[in-house]
Chains A and B, each alone.
Chain A
Amino acid sequence: MLQPRSYPAFIAKALVLENEPFEAMVDDDNPWIEGFALVAAVGLLAGVAAAVGSFLTALTLPAPESLYVTLLQGGRQFASASALPPAEVERIIAEIWAVVALVTGYAGGWSHLLPILSIPSFAILWWLFFGVLAFGVGRALGSHASINATFGAAALIVAPLILFVFNIVPFAGPNPALIGVWSLLIGYRAIQVSQELEWHKAAAVTLIVYVVGLFVVAALVAAFGIGYAAGGAR
């Protein structure tokens, strides 16, 4: 049975690497569903906080059109001062502007709401990826845990996303590396508890999952870069 009222305590305890929330998730009557609900809830909270923060941050800045025109002017002056072709400098500014304005929500419109979709989606995808791979690698290293239990405990890897609440205040926010490494430590504890592995095997499983994850992300970024360079986004 879903127990969302326990989620704040689970998250607070998972952040300090206590065993209790991992054990509670493993012993749940349906760890998979409980895990999915927890990941979705935390992801949605983080997404809403990031969306509100992006909206407020954009309000603290000048209108995007004025800022863009001023940047272009500066770019032209910089080009003439450094003997660079002005058209090339303008093109670089325009391309960077397009990506930054969309990702940060500064472009306005629906782009402010992007984190409400992107953060929970990414959290769920990462949890599924982590759970499946941790289960497989754990089995290969001698674990006898079920995939259901692994998914339940692994759901707590999203706990550091709670720090996105700080994003509500303009220009505040956690370092992505902090989220990644804290999540890794929690993932290690989740594997240790759910798969009952020795510390070095649990560490190996966690690192293998992260290394494979990094390769997948690098491949996606490279594919996006090649597609963008080929004119796919224009």
Chain B
Amino acid sequence: MSSQTHVVLPDQIDREDWLRLEHWLPDLQQMWDAAFLRLSDAFDPYERGEITVSMRQGIGMIFVLGLAAGLLPLVGNLWVSLRAGTAAPLAAAALSLAELANAYAGAPALNVASNTASLLAGIEPRMPGFWAALLSSLGLWLNTPLSWLSSWILYGAFVVALARLFGATNRLQTFFAATSFTAVPMVLTGLAPLPLLGPLAVVVAWIWAAIVYYQAVRYVTRLDPVRTLLCMALPPMVAVAAAMVLALFVALVARIG
């Protein structure tokens, strides 16, 4: 596409333009449309008859929404680790194990683990406790979008491979661009730390995300519903089967050993 045109497709940008923020994020209206399954408006806001949202915008959106979902857990981690004056993973592990040990008071191994974790969290870190708590909480916060990116790429790679085998002809970039909008409902998982509302929000987020993913895969691949569902269901089914076979193999080796 000529760089002289006034409308520039996000995945057809000039080399010097790749750093511009608007090429790393779709606009809010597109995210809103995707959440309510108006996928043609989300993927093709200029009504050009093709998917104009780019994989680059998908990466940016997943990252920003992942950070947004991680805000509440960040506040929780900061609260726990700043009070303990230690790194967030140590403080969080001590707290979780203490809760578990209280819940299952008759389990001596759990009590030992809880005591050890409390002792570890009580030892002064080598840098000032405030900085240890702050930096480690920020690290855990960054892991939210990174784990979302992992799920998107890993699961997507298997789904797109199966879709190709079932006859889809779409490009890799458009597939990943479209499925990135699954991150929009997943923002609700950020409410997980809230009592009562949190678990409900997580369940709603996963169901909503599965529906958006299904619709996005269908939109991009043009596969029929059965093949689309097979593309989505086979990777986790194979993973579970492989894990069971591995567990059986390990158990067998341990028994023989």
Contacts and interface: CB of A to CB of B under 8 A. Distances in A.
A67 B123 contact: yes
Interface stretch (A141-149, A171-179, A221-229): A171-179
Nearest to A74: B116
Interface string B68-100: 000000000000000000111110000000000
Nearest to B126: A59
B30 interface: no
Given A13-B18, A178-B154, A171 B55 contact: no
A70 B150 contact: no
B42 interface: no
Report whether over half of chain A's contact residues are helix, strand or loop; otherwise say mixed.
helix
Nearest to A21: B15
Interface in A39-75: 56-63, 66-67, 70-71, 73-74
A163 B146 CA distance: 9
A81 B136 contact: no
Interface stretch (A30-38, A115-123, A180-188): A180-188
A140 interface: no
A178 B115 contact: no
Interface in B86-145: 86-90, 108-109, 111-113, 115-116, 119-120, 123-127, 131-132, 135-136, 138-140, 142-143
A187 to B, nearest CB: 12
A62 B55 contact: no
A70 B123 contact: yes
B11 A67 contact: no
Nearest to B54: A16
Nearest to B127: A59
A181 B159 CA distance: 13
A213 interface: no
B29 interface: no
Given A77-B112, A171-B139, A203 B161 contact: yes
Given A61-B125, A163-B146, A15 B113 contact: no
Contact of A170 (B119, B120, B124, B136): B136
A167 to B, nearest CB: 9
B153 A59 contact: no
B59 interface: yes
Contacts of A171: 87-89, 136, 139-140, 143
Contacts, number: 131
Contacts of A61: 87, 90, 125-126, 132
A173 B56 CA distance: 20
Contacts of B136: 57, 60, 170-171
Contacts of A214: none
B251 interface: no
B173 A17 contact: yes
B126 A172 contact: no
A163 B149 CA distance: 11
Contact of B143 (A81, A173, A203): A173
B126 A78 contact: no
Contact of B149 (A12, A17, A56, A174): A174
A212 interface: no
A142 B173 CA distance: 26
Interface string A1-18: 000001001001101111
Point out which of A169, A171, A199 has the most chain B C-beta atoms below 10 A from its C-beta.
Answer: A171
Given A163-B146, A169-B135, A66 B123 contact: yes
A78 B146 contact: no
A172 B66 CA distance: 14
B115 A77 contact: yes
B153 A62 contact: no
25 contacts: A6-B15, A12-B18, A16-B55, A17-B173, A18-B173, A60-B127, A60-B132, A60-B136, A61-B125, A61-B126, A70-B120, A73-B119, A74-B115, A74-B116, A81-B108, A169-B138, A170-B135, A170-B138, A171-B140, A175-B147, A178-B146, A181-B153, A185-B157, A185-B172, A199-B164
Given A81-B108, A174-B149, A185-B157, 16 more contacts: A16-B55, A17-B172, A56-B135, A57-B139, A60-B87, A60-B127, A60-B131, A61-B90, A61-B125, A67-B123, A74-B116, A81-B111, A81-B112, A163-B146, A171-B136, A203-B164
